[in-house]
Amino acid sequence: MPSDYLLTWLLSRLDPLQFGSPTARALAAATGDPRDRSRLSLPDLTASLADDDCPIESAECIDDRLGEMS
C-alpha cells in the first residue's frame, strides 16, 4: 500500500540536503553530501563484487521442462 510517510522518509534519507529535516540538512552540510561519498565508493563496491570467491559448480543435468538443474 503506498504511503506518503514512507516516501518522505526514504527521500529524507537519500537526499538529506534537499528533503531532510533542518537538523539532517545541517549535518549533511557539515559532513558532506552523502551522494558524493556514494559516487566515490561505487567503483570499489563493484570491484569487490567481481571477485571469484564463490566457485560455480558444473551442472550434471538440466531439466528442459523447468530449466532447472537437478
pLDDT of the residue at 6: 92
pTM value is: 0.43
Q: Three cell numbers at 4? A: 506518503
Q: Three cell numbers at 1? A: 500500500
CA-to-CA distance for 21 and 68, rounded, in angstroms?
49
CA-to-CA distance for 21 and 26, rounded, in angstroms?
9
Strand segments (E) across 1-70: 62-63, 68-69
DSSP state of 51: S
- pLDDT per residue over 17-56, tens digit each? 888 889 888 888 888 877 788 889 999 888 888 766 666 6
